[in-house]
Structure formats: C-alpha cells, structure tokens
C-alpha cells in the first residue's frame, strides 16, 4: 500500500477499445477508501463494466485497448500489473453465474482458485466452510453445482471470490440475470458482508433500489463520464437534477421519484426527498398529519 488508505486511486482515466475511435471512459477521477461500500450506477453503455475490468486488471492485459491515466489498486499500477499478480487481493463477480462456476461440486468449485495458487490442501478444506457460511450455503459442499438455483449459483460465485480473502471485491451487476428471489438472496449476502466483514466492495447495478441500503456512496456514470459522486443519503437530495440525465435508463427507487415529484409541486420540502423507502414513508406521514401539504411560510 502507498502512504494513504485508498484501495483504489484513479485519476484522469481515459480508455477506448482498439476496435473503436470513441472513448468509452473520459477523464474518470475517483478514489475508494479501505472498508468503503461503493455503488456504481448508470445506463447500459455508460462504461461500468469497462471500469470494473480496468480495476481488476483485465484491461489492458487480456482485453486490448488504449488506456491513459492513473489506475492504482492496492498500491499497484494496474496498467502494468498482470491480473494474476493481484488475483488473491482483488475478487470479481460478473453478471452470469453460469460462466463463473467451474467445479462439478460446490467444494470442487471453491477449491479451484486456491489450488491454482498452490494453497495447502488442509488450508483449502478449512476455508470452504467459512465462505459457505458467509453466503448462506453451509452444508452444501458435496452439492452438484449445476443443480443450484440461480441465486445460489451467484452466491457460490461470490464465495469463489471470497475464498482467497480479497481486500477488494468487485460485483459487476451480480443480479441482472436473476429472478426477484435470487436478487433478494444475493443482496442479503452483500448486506451481510457489509455488516460482518472488513472488506472493500464496489457494486455495479442498474437497479438503484438494491444499492441504497448497502452502499456508503454512489457514483453515477453516463456516457463514459462521472456526473455525480456523493454519499448515498445526500446524492439524490442535492443532485436530483442530475438524475434526470439517466431517468428512464436506470431504475431509480420509487420513493425517490415520488418525493422528488411532490417536492417540485411544493407539497413537501426538498429536504424530504429521499431514496430510502422507510424514511420517505415517515416524511409523507408527517406531512399528511400537518394537513396534506408543505408550506414554506
């Protein structure tokens, strides 16, 4: 690590694929502190997956493109550091759980990564029950991986990433391929990681409602640029106008849209705009008790 607590330190990052003249990422600047849970949202094509691949080190080492700027991850310059060098420290879970599971059984799948890093077999066997407990799959070591539900497969993919006790975990739209029950299971696991583990997490999602209760901070990407970056509580309250740039392209929390509309109509104060459902309901109840409208007089 360098002389600060940043696990991710990105400055003036620009990137384009070799097959295109268009920049996918334009002058990206942000840092992620140790222990932070950061959400990244934005419409399709905003550059979210490209950004994750750069942080992981897949770009430019296994995916070709032209990259400029500073990309330091856990003290290493990822532009010149092969992904294998940071494999144990940076875990990544992608959208499709089917494409990430290799072993025929849960135990075989979890052992695959550590075996490639030449872990002692006893260490692997000791670690497996620990990570299965983290993702609520305890006792399924001998279960055939193909027989798991979609949500269970994605939780197994998260367990695969956790096997090597990474300092940074990247989740790239981990619920986009799942049904509502599977999404609930995965985000329950993410919440548990936040509460119980000393780990830094970056979560990419298009459905913002899933992020507001787990992320300390949310970054908004649009057309390859960061258009907003703030703590979850204040982002939507202070920068609602920026949300109009991605309205209809990203699924925003319903309570945010309702309270924003009511504030614009003068029924509630701007301070009552919130992405949190419970808080929004409390705000609306308080207004109704006072006669059904907000008056700034």
Measured CA to CA, the distance from residue 230 to residue 220 in angstroms comes to 9
Q: Taking the chain, what is the end-to-end CA distance rounded to the nearest angstrom? A: 54
The rounded percent of the chain whose pLDDT value lies above 90 is: 49
pLDDT score of 3 more than 50: no
Q: Give residue 112's pLDDT band: very low, low, confident or very high (50, 70, 90).
A: very high
Other CB atoms within 10 A of residue 215 CB: 25
- For domain 6-232, say whether CATH 3.40.50.300 is its number: yes
> How confident is the model at residue 1, as a pLDDT?
41
Residue 292 pLDDT exceeds 90: no
For the segment 130-159, the average pLDDT, to the nearest whole number, is 93
Q: How many CB atoms lie within 10 A of CB 81?
A: 17
Helix axes 106-116, 121-134, angle to 10 degrees: 130
Report whether pLDDT(236) > 80.
no
- Is the pLDDT score of 275 beyond 80? yes
Could you give the CA distance from residue 220 to residue 64 in angstroms, rounded to a whole number?
Answer: 25
The H-or-E segment that residue 287 falls in is helix 277-289
Residue 249 CA to residue 208 CA, distance in Å, equals: 11
In the structure, what pLDDT confidence band is assigned to residue 2 with cuts at 50, 70 and 90?
very low
Crossing angle (nearest 10°) for helices 180-196 and 150-162: 30
Cβ count within 10 A of residue 96: 14
Q: Which of 247, 248, 296 lies closest to 272, judged by CA?
A: 296
Question: What average pLDDT does range 93-97 have in this prediction?
Answer: 87
Whether the Cβ atoms of residue 214 and residue 225 lie closer than 8 Å to each other: no
**Strand ranges across the sheet with 200-204:** 90-93, 168-172, 200-204, 37-41, 217-222, 225-231
Q: How many helices (H) and strands (E) does the chain have?
A: 10, 10
Q: What is the rounded average pLDDT of the residues 73-82?
A: 92
Residue 82 has pLDDT above 70, yes or no: yes
Res 254: pLDDT:
83
pLDDT-based confidence at residue 241 (cuts at 50, 70, 90): low
């Amino acid at each position: 690590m360098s002389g600060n607590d940043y696990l991710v330190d990105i400055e003036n990052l620009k990137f384009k694929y070799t097959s295109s003249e268009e920049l996918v990422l334009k002058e990206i600047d942000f840092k992620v502190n140790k222990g932070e849970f950061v959400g990244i949202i934005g419409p399709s094509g905003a550059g979210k997956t490209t950004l994750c691949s750069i942080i992981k080190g897949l770009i430019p080492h296994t995916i070709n493109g032209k990259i400029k700027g500073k990309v330091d991850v856990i003290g290493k310059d990822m532009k010149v550091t092969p992904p294998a060098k940071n494999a144990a420290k940076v875990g990544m879970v992608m959208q499709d759980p089917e494409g990430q599971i290799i072993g025929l059984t849960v135990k075989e799948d979890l052992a695959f990564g550590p075996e490639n890093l030449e872990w002692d077999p006893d260490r692997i066997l000791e670690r497996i029950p620990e990570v299965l407990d983290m993702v609520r799959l305890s006792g399924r070591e001998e279960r055939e991986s193909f027989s798991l539900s979609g949500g269970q497969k994605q939780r197994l993919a998260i367990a695969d990433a956790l096997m090597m006790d990474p300092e940074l975990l990247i989740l790239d739209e981990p619920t986009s391929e799942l049904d509502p029950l599977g999404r609930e299971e995965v985000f329950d696991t993410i919440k548990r990681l936040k509460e119980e583990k000393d780990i830094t997490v970056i979560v990419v999602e298009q459905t913002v409602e899933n992020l507001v209760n787990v992320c300390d901070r949310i970054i908004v990407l649009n057309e390859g640029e960061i258009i907003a970056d703030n703590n979850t509580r204040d982002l939507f309250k202070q920068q609602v106008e920026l949300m109009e740039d991605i309205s209809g392209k990203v699924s925003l929390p319903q309570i945010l849209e309702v309270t924003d509309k009511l504030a614009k109509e003068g029924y509630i104060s701007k301070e009552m705009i919130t992405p949190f459902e419970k808080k929004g309901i409390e705000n609306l109840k308080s207004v109704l008790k006072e006669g059904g409208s907000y008056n700034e007089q």
